[in-house]
Amino acid sequence: MPDRIKRQQFASISVILLLVFVFPLISIANKASMIAGIPVLFLYLFGVWLGAIGLLWITAERKGPKNNPGT
């Protein structure tokens, strides 16, 4: 995959992560309730963080189409 496309994808992921970590969305998860004994805010932050790592890893490892002019 060309570097230009990867840079655009990384920039898009960064903007999405900035939007996910703004106060209004974090305040939705900031409740006094718990899931399996863990506060919802911690689950939200850890889930988004883990998802971001996975998404960035998939984007970084993706290979572009192979150009085989002989076949």
Task: Supply the angle between the helices 40-61 and 3-20 in degrees, to the nearest 10.
Answer: 180
22 CB contacts (<8 Å, ≥6 apart)?
none
pTM of the model: 0.77
Strand, coil or helix: 69: coil
- Find the angle CA(61)-CA(70)-CA(68) to the nearest 5 degrees: 10
Per-residue confidence (pLDDT) for residue 22, from 0 to 100: 93
How far, in whole angstroms, is CA 54 from its chain's centroid? 7
pLDDT over threshold 80, residue 29: yes
Confidence of residue 62 (pLDDT cuts 50, 70, 90): confident
Confidence of residue 27 (pLDDT cuts 50, 70, 90): very high
For tokens 């718990």, what's the residue? Answer: 34
